[in-house]
Amino acid sequence: MKNLLAVLAFLLSSAAAAQDLDRAMMLVATPDLEGAYRHTALVVMPVGENRHLGFIVNRASEMQLAASTLYYGGPEMVGAVFALVRKDPGQPSMHMFGEVYVTGDREVIDHVLGETPGSARLFAGFVGWESGELADEIAAGYWYVAEPEVAQVFSQEPGENVWSDLVKRVGRRLQTRLY
């Protein structure tokens, strides 16, 4: 019976996730996921036909940039700095979800940090998925999918706390759907 519930939870989460790949989402590594993405939480957005980019939100580094903690956003372009901003910083930037925007423009980032330093989260690098890769990873059960929330993206909690809180929240919602 327990295995059946696990299979049903997986199928429900995969089916729901497949429908939502055309908008921003929070990816939460399943407890069984090992390797570089173990215990990570990412905010992800579509950037073209079935392609996605995201940032690991719970991997703070020891580095500071303009008195702000620099987070490890992912393995791609780790030499580049990106900012998630709590409101539209102007162009060039892309809308992610709600009032959260992303930019990699140095002038925009410097302006945001100068005007409202607490309104941005800085990342070195990002995670990218080519066409269909993210759908395949979700179908394989690597990720739980949830609605992105500003509180999680900008959380001041240590990395493991963000991940474990999201796993509990998403897992509870999956169990509730089964009954």
The structure tokens listed for 21 are 């790949």
Give the number of other CB atoms < 10 A from CB of residue 77. 15
HEC readout, 90-134: CCCCEEEECCEEEECCHHHHHHHHHHCHHHEEEEEEEEEECCCHH
pLDDT value of position 93: 96
Q: What is the DSSP string of 41-62?
A: EEEEEE-STT-EEEEETT-EEE
What percent of the chain shows pLDDT beyond 90? 66
The rounded distance, in Å, linking the Cα atoms of 18 and 116 is 37
Distances (CA, A) of 78 to 105, 140, 168: 15, 27, 30
Q: Is the pLDDT of residue 8 over 60?
A: no
More confident residue, 2 or 67: 67
Topology of domain 2-178, per CATH?
VC0467-like (3.40.1740)
| Cα–chain center distance at 4 | 29
pLDDT value of position 15: 41
pLDDT value of position 99: 95
β-strand 120-129 against 68-72: which pairing, if any?
parallel
pLDDT value of position 172: 57
52 neighbors 44 (Cβ within 8 angstroms): yes
The structure tokens listed for 147 are 């609605």
| pTM score of the predicted model | 0.83
Q: Is the pLDDT of residue 61 over 90?
A: yes
Phi, psi of 21 (to 5 degrees): -70, -10
Q: How confident is the model at residue 13 (pLDDT cuts 50, 70, 90)?
A: very low
pLDDT value of position 97: 96
pLDDT digits (tens, 9 = 90+) for 80-130: 999 999 999 999 999 999 999 999 999 999 999 999 878 999 999 999 999
The rounded distance, in Å, linking the Cα atoms of 100 and 75 is 22
C-alpha neighbours within 13 Å on the C-beta side of residue 61: 18
* All structural domains of the chain with their residue ranges: 2-178
Which is it for the CA torsion 168, 33, 96, 100, positive or negative?
positive
